[in-house]
Amino acid sequence: MIKTRTLSVAVAALLSAAPLSLFSESKNIAASKGINLLEQTSQTFTQIAKKAMPATVFIKVQQQISEQAPQLRQQIPNELFSDEFFRRFFGAPQTQQQPQPQQLANGSGFLVSADGYIVTNYHVIKEAGQITVVLNDGREFTAAISGTDPRTDLAVIKINETELPYLTFGNSDQLEIGEWVVAIGTPFALEASLTVGVVSAKGRQDLGITSLEDFIQTDAAINPGNSGGPLLDLSGNVVGVNTAIISRSGGYMGIGFSIPSRMVQHVIDQIINSGTVQRAYLGIILQPIDKDLADALGLEQAQGILVSEVMKDSPASKGGLLQGDVIVQYNQNSAKNVSKLRNEIAMMSPGDELSLKVLRNNRPIQLKIGLGGQTEVEVVSAETVQKMGLEVESITPDLAAKLNIPADLQGVVITSVKPGSPAQAAGLRPTFLITGVAMNWNEPKRVTNSDEFNQALKEAGNRKHVILIVRHQNYQRYYTMKIN
């Protein structure tokens, strides 16, 4: 009886202990698998660092800054002080200009070829007097600018060295929201640093950061000095160029933006091959359609993009597109967003064909338009002039004689002002002479011909207003127009 009871107790003990043992073993296996997974993830980041950090560079920029005393003289080009009008208007002294001290700025970049081509942001090297590139191994080189593209905030610089480590591009279109990404740069002038995060969103537009926007949003920490550094996928390929952050403090707050690699490659390939960027040109001004506009146009729903204006002699005009047409589809893609359509056209090349489906008087029409090509200056200035409602010409001897313009005056003549335009509202009239363009009251830029006028408008970029310095008869005035 005692033996039987002892055996029963032993069996019961074994049975009660078995589940605990199995649970403990399962827990240990799970913990071991978790540790292994973390170790694998850590090793992935380590491999990315080993691959990308040697190809990531620190960029030091020396900027020339004029030392101006009076408040109104800040940021005025020195050459304008030779003009009597500008001297009196801005209170410039009759003395020699002050010496120009150097201001230091810095950012990041990364090598894209073994022979020294480096991608960075345009705003990093925008006003550079001298650019110094510091490699990850400590070597320093003086760099030259190969080309820039302010509309995407991209630039390519080059150092004279060979057999350098470099990065390759991945496909940003294949990125998924939630996917791991790695940002590398030199924040606060520190040596190359790595941060990790995920893709928070794609296709961020209308942020007012650049003219052409299609940003990847990430929560990988990006701080001042990270600008121009690479955003990488888990294979160590570049999927973006870190460009901007949203911050109330000036530091990282979990929202950073990177230019997608698809856009980057399109720009830098052209810069490296030709030194300039040429984009396809359609020649229209677009407007989103809201419910009220849809009702006014008799549309069944608020869809598509309205063609509010077609530029004279543009590819759009030659291809049959009319003011008032509603674009509902382009190249088999639904037309829902003005910025998206503008970006897609900008990513095409001159000579490419654009397929459009438009509604004209609520009837669908198919159009095929051969895209033209213009320089960046021509595209931006044409859009700006169109928004203002102006047509201008350079002064010729015949035109100067016809309009009684003194021989010593230079600029561009207004030949036409569109009724109801901002130019007409501002008081501009044909025969007025534009002698300068100002970004604001403190930044006048003299123009002597159409090329300089176009360049000045290009530099105005996405500013909400443009200021024209205009002479008529014996008077010179500033005219302000809202264009964006």
Name the pLDDT band for 159 (thresholds 50, 70, 90): very high
Query: Averaging pLDDT over each range in 154-158, 384-388, 398-402, 410-414, which range is the top one?
Result: 154-158
pLDDT at 196 exceeding the cut of 80: yes
- Which band of pLDDT confidence, cut at 50, 70 and 90, is reported for residue 375? low
pLDDT of residue 178: 92
pLDDT tens, position by position, 209-224? 777 888 999 988 887 7
Res. 100: pLDDT tops 60: no
Of the given ranges (58-72, 78-92, 101-115, 169-183), which has the lowest mean pLDDT? 78-92
- Complete domains list, the chain, with CATH: 54-158 (2.40.10.10), 172-278 (2.40.10.10), 279-370 (2.30.42.10), 378-482 (2.30.42.10)
The strand pairing partners of 267, in sequence order, are none
CA atoms within a 13 Å half-sphere pointing along the CA-CB vector of 101: 4
| Residue-level pLDDT at 161 | 93
One-letter identity of residue 133:
V
**What one-letter code names the amino acid at 281?**
Y
- CA geometry: angle at 275 spanning 274 and 278, to 5°? 75
Confidence of residue 372 (pLDDT cuts 50, 70, 90): confident
Asked if pLDDT for residue 173 goes beyond 80, the answer is yes
The tokens for 433 are: 């002479």
Report the alpha-carbon angle 406-407-410, nearest 5.
90
- The answer to whether 354 and 282 have CB atoms below 8 angstroms apart is yes
pLDDT score at 91: 43
Rounded CA gap, 108 and 87, in Å?
Answer: 40
Instruction: Report the pLDDT averaged over residues 110-123.
Output: 94
Helix (H, G, I), strand (E, B) or coil at 291: helix
* Percent of the chain topping pLDDT 90: 26
Q: How far apart are the first and last CA of the chain?
A: 100
Tell me the pLDDT band of 116, cut-offs 50, 70 and 90: very high
The answer to whether residue 95 scores a pLDDT higher than 60 is: no
pLDDT at 80 over 50: no
Q: What mean pLDDT is reported for the chain? A: 79
User: Which residue has better confidence, 173 or 396?
Assistant: 173
Give per-residue pLDDT as tens, 130-151. Answer: 999 999 888 999 999 999 988 8
Under the banding of pLDDT at 50, 70 and 90, the label for residue 83 is: very low
- Per-residue pLDDT averaged across 327-344, rounded? 86
Interval 57-80 mean pLDDT? 55
Give the mean model confidence (pLDDT) for residues 117-129: 90
Does residue 430 have a pLDDT over 90?
Answer: no
Pairwise CA distance, residues 7 & 213, whole Å: 79
59 pLDDT band, cuts 50/70/90, is very high
The enclosing H or E element of 288 equals strand 284-288
pLDDT at 158 over 90: yes
Q: Which residue has the higher pLDDT, 8 or 314?
A: 314
- Higher pLDDT residue, 82 or 374? 374
Catalytic residues: 123, 153, 227
pLDDT band at 396 (very low <50, low <70, confident <90, very high): confident
Question: Is pLDDT above 60 for 235?
Answer: yes
Closest CA to 111 of 57, 50, 169, 171: 57
- Measured at the CA of 107, the angle between CA 105 and CA 108, to 5 degrees, comes to 160
Q: What is the pLDDT of residue 2?
A: 46
